[in-house]
Structure 1
Amino acid sequence: MTFQGSGPLDTSGVSAGGGGGGGRIAMGGGLGLVVTVVALLFGVNPGDIMGGSGSTGSQQVSADQSELQERIDSCTTIEQANSDDVCRLIATKNSLNDVWPTLMNGYTDPDMKIFSGSINTGCGAASSAMGPFYCPSDETAYFDPSFFQELTRMGGSDGPLAQEYVVAHEFGHHVENLTGVLAKGQRMGNDGSVRIELQADCLAGVWAQHADDGPDAMLAPLTDDQIASVIQTAKAIGDDTIQGSGSNPEGWTHGSARQRQRWFTTGYESGDPSRCDTFATDDL
């Protein structure tokens, strides 16, 4: 359990989606398909790399979207977030939108779209193969709940806080979008991408530090084991872990396992967003 209390969940700004193009990955940089797909996990802007092609059966898309919307609508209490992945996504959004206004002037709530298969976004057509992502054009974070099963197969934790870290990372990109860091990093190629991703990991750690503060906090006091589940997940999705022994740091887009663990820990231990300035150091 990570969420506490029996109060209501706020589902405003959360909706089901689907029906985008087939979500063809536009390969580039000499990367193979598997590496390209995995490197996009927790990516920033699918419009830069996606091209809509193919089609999805409209009846199936409609059925999937309807089912997901029913699941969203059924998430009425915080308690449900401890047993249902969709409700956990929503509860984490609620918690993030409680915490970030206390840490950042001018914070605005992003939208959340929960989808299956493929979806049209402000950044282009996207596929579940991308994993979770944030689109700055429509200020929306996108999640296919089936990603959590894939994350476990990759060696990540199936613990609830590890799933919440995924959401908090994407909301970290929203914070970066609001501060202008996201646009800055996107102009810098792979090095900028790594710094963006590590900063989002750090900002996720900042949220975790504050999310269980006070008697009205949505999260119960976090345990060492829960934080370890996030560290395990950060390690599993490091570029060097994913790419294996032939990994080339010059081709990294998200940072090594050590870097991802380090920056989440920096955010968690400090609770200070100013400690997350990955653009101010050469020691990532």
Structure 2
Amino acid sequence: MTFNEGIRIDTSTTSASGGRGGGRGIAVGGVGGLVIVLLALFFGINPADLTGDGDPAAPGAQQNAPEFEHCKTGADANKYVECRVIATGNSVDQVWTSLLPGYQRPQLRLFSNVVDTRCGQATSDVGPFYCPADQTVYIDTSFYQVLVDQFGSSGGPLAQEYVIAHEYGHHVQNLLGDIGKAQQGVQGAQGNSVRTELQADCYAGVWAHHASVTQAPGSDKPYLEPLTDKDIADALSAASAVGDDRIQEAATGRVNPESWTHGSSEQRQHWFTVGYQTGDYKRCDTYNARDLDNG
């Protein structure tokens, strides 16, 4: 997926490096973090000991975004990964503003190695995630290469953009009052954690449906050019790469649905496709779906 070169990038909600310490919450959507959590459970280690979640109050260096001054247009988004992340966030915001009355933009923070948030401290190992406590999406762009090298995903632009749209999907859940369901009820393959993540996949698909027709502010063009079959294949590749079954088998050599948190590769692809084909976020009601494999 290619950005229209003339659109303008808005960096006003973007910051870099550290985060805001203090408070306590539950971060959701960490894709790479599944490896950490699964290995921790398999070997009987507290995941907080690996991610640093046990020390949420340690403050990080908070910076504004002067390093993003080169991120001005769609041409920059096509050239630089950090600009592509910010422009994708702009696009997702614009789509949800048109779909959801009262939508409020989240903050976006790009970081490297470690970041302090109101959900606790996290390292790059947890992958991209959303913290409801500070309404911020956290992205370490080095994860995109991990997605290719360790998870076997396509490296195409929509594979990267799908990840961002998924995390913004958690923000939509937060605005709708649904995100707390992830910690309620039964867990495992049919549990609310999986249903929460699959709904975020579906919301990412909704964004993809509208991305090339939702006009960018101050422009007569949308942020993105029309999707190609290859674009969709890239997104589905990323969704499949981070399925619980695939990650578990790679990490431990076995699959245990009782410990699933994000859903299988097939489920993640299915729910992205539901959102993409319908463009209707109300069709993403995974919490009431009887069959998560078929909607």
> Shorter chain as normaliser: what TM range?
0.7 to 0.9
Q: Give the alignment partner of residue 260 of structure 2, picking from 236, 245, 252.
A: 252
Q: Give the alignment partner of residue 86 of structure 1, picking from 82, 85, 88.
A: 82
1:121–1:135 contact (8 Å) kept in structure 2 = yes
Q: Percent of pairs identical after alignment?
A: 49
Which position in structure 2 is the counterpart of 1:232? 237
2:161 matches 1:130: no
Higher-helix-fraction structure: 1
Q: Give the alignment partner of residue 51 of structure 1, picking from 48, 54, 61.
A: 54
How far off its partner does 1:26 sit?
Answer: 8.1
Which position in structure 2 is the counterpart of 1:174? 171
Alignment TM-score, normalising by the size of structure 1: 0.85
How far off its partner does 1:120 sit?
Answer: 0.8
Alignment of 1:27-42 (within 5 A): 30-32=41-43
How far off its partner does 1:219 sit?
Answer: 0.6
Shift in CA distance, 136/249, structure 1 to aligned 2, threshold 3 Å? same
Q: Take 2:131 and 2:10, find their aligned partners in 1: how far apart are those partners?
A: 22
Shift in CA distance, 108/19, structure 1 to aligned 2, threshold 3 Å? closer
- The letter for the 2-side match of 1:51 is G
How far off its partner does 1:185 sit?
Answer: 2.3
- Say which is worse superposed, 212-221 or 7-16, in terms of deviation: 212-221
Q: Take 1:98 and 1:222, find their aligned partners in 2: how far apart are those partners?
A: 17
Alignment of 1:1-284 (within 5 A): 2-18=2-18, 30-32=41-43, 50-52=53-55, 69-153=65-149, 154-188=151-185, 190=187, 191-213=191-213, 216-244=221-249, 245-284=253-292
1:246 match: secondary structure: coil
How far off its partner does 1:5 sit?
Answer: 3.0
Q: Take 1:166 and 1:33, find their aligned partners in 2: how far apart are those partners?
A: 29
1:19–1:118 contact (8 Å) kept in structure 2 = no
Q: Take 2:20 and 2:97, find their aligned partners in 1: how far apart are those partners?
A: 33
Residues paired across the two proteins, number: 264
How far off its partner does 1:18 sit?
Answer: 2.3
How far off its partner does 1:187 sit?
Answer: 1.9
Q: Take 2:126 and 2:186, find their aligned partners in 1: how far apart are those partners?
A: 19
1:261 match: secondary structure: helix
How far off its partner does 1:51 sit?
Answer: 1.9
Q: Take 1:33 and 1:152, find their aligned partners in 2: how far apart are those partners?
A: 28
Q: Take 1:12 and 1:69, find their aligned partners in 2: how far apart are those partners?
A: 8
Structure 2: stretches of 5+ with no match in the other structure: 22-32, 215-219
1:104-161 C-alpha deviation (Å, 9 max, x unpaired): 1121000000000111101111111100000000000000010101001111111111
1:38-78 C-alpha deviation (Å, 9 max, x unpaired): xx9xxxxx8xx82239x9xx9xx97xx87x94432221112
RMSD, matched Cα: 2.9
1:231-265 C-alpha deviation (Å, 9 max, x unpaired): 11111110001111511111100000000000000
1:156–1:233 contact (8 Å) kept in structure 2 = yes
2:184–2:192 contact (8 Å) kept in structure 1 = yes
Shift in CA distance, 75/275, structure 1 to aligned 2, threshold 3 Å? same
1:26–1:51 contact (8 Å) kept in structure 2 = no
Shift in CA distance, 246/10, structure 1 to aligned 2, threshold 3 Å? same
Shift in CA distance, 99/117, structure 1 to aligned 2, threshold 3 Å? same
Q: Take 2:108 and 2:163, find their aligned partners in 1: how far apart are those partners?
A: 13
- The letter for the 1-side match of 2:82 is V
Q: Take 1:200 and 1:263, find their aligned partners in 2: how far apart are those partners?
A: 9
